Amino acid sequence: MVDIHSHICFGVDDGSRSIDESLAMLQIAIDGGTTDIVATPHSDLKFHFRPELVAQRVAEMQERIGDKIRIHRGCDFHLFFDNIRNCLEDRTNYTINGKRYLMVEFADSSIPKTINDVFTSFLQKDITPVITHPERNALLMGRIGDIVRWIRMGCLVQVTAASFTGRFGKSAEANCRKLMDRKMVHFVASDAHDTEWRPPDMREARKIVTEGWGADVAERLFETFPRIALTDEYIDCEDPDDVVAKKSWFSFLSKS
C-alpha cells in the first residue's frame, strides 16, 4: 500500500514528537503492508512550514529505517493567502515529491468564497488539489454538490482509513460510505499522528473497502492511485454520482 498523508516528520507539527516516535510509526506502517509513505506536515498559520527542514528530516528517517519503506515529502496544505500565492509561484515546496498532487485541508469553520477561483488557478498551474478527509468536516459534507463540482474540475478526494473503522465517530464512518457509494473517493490514507490513537496502519480499512466495494476498488484506492500521486502522471477517475442534482430534477418533475 501507499500512504499519501501522514504526520511522521518529527518536531514540526502536532504529529511525531521525536525521531524515535517516527521510527516506531514507520515500523507500524511496514508491518501493515505499506511500501511508501508521504510525510505531510501542516502548512498553516499555527505551524510554520519549512520545506528544507522537512527534506532534511525525511532523509534522516530514511537513513535510519533503511530500504524497508520509501519515505516521500509533501505537506498538509491549508488555504490562506500566503500559502496559495507561494504555491502558485513554486509548487515544488508543497506538492508530493514536488510533482503535481497537493494535499489540501479545509478549515472546519469556513470555506473560502474564492475557492473555485483558487482551484482553477492551481489546475492551470498543473497542480491537482487533493481534498483531505471531507468525511470528518461537517461543513464540507453539507456541500456535497460543491465537492462534485470540484471533482469535475479536476480535483480529487482522500478519506482517512480510520474513518472506515469508526475511530472518528459514526458520522465520519457514515460519510465515508456515502462518498464511496457516490464514487467520490480517490485515495485512502492514514493521516497518522502517533503510534497509539492514530497509527499508520490501514489494514482494517482496506478489508472493509474490499468487503464493501470490491478488491478492484480497494486496490485502486490503496495502491494504484496513491502510487500515481508520487509521480507527475494524471489520474483518470470515474465521474461522481450527482445525487443532489438527480434529487432536485425528480423533485421538479413531481411538482410539474
pLDDT of residue 243: 56
**Which is nearest to 130 in space by CA: 108, 169, 99, 109?**
99
pLDDT in tens, 33-78: 999 999 999 999 899 899 999 999 999 999 999 999 999 999 999 9
pLDDT of residue 241: 86
Q: Which distant-in-sequence residues (6+ apart) come within 8 Å of 201 by Cβ?
A: 28, 29, 31, 32, 161, 190, 192
Q: What is the pTM of this model?
A: 0.93
Using the 8-state DSSP alphabet, how is residue 46 labeled? S
Cβ(189)–Cβ(6) below 8 Å: yes
**Which is nearest to 23 in space by CA: 55, 56, 79, 71?**
71
**Which is nearest to 13 in space by CA: 67, 50, 60, 55?**
50
- The range of the structural domain enclosing residue 21 comes to 2-255
pLDDT of residue 11: 96
Degrees to nearest 5, angle at CA 69 with 67 and 74: 120
Which residue numbers in the chain have pLDDT < 70?
243-256
Q: Is residue 127 packed enough to be buried (19+ CB in 10 Å), middle (13-18) or exposed (0-12)?
A: buried
Count up the domains in the chain and report the number.
Answer: 1
Cβ(137)–Cβ(108) below 8 Å: yes
Q: What are phi and psi of 169, to 5 degrees?
A: 100, 165
Query: At 205, which CATH number?
Result: 3.20.20.140
Q: What is the DSSP string of 148-180?
A: HHHHHHT-EEEEEHHHHTTTT-HHHHHHHHHHH
pLDDT of residue 155: 98
Counted residue by residue, the chain has a size of 256
pLDDT of residue 246: 45
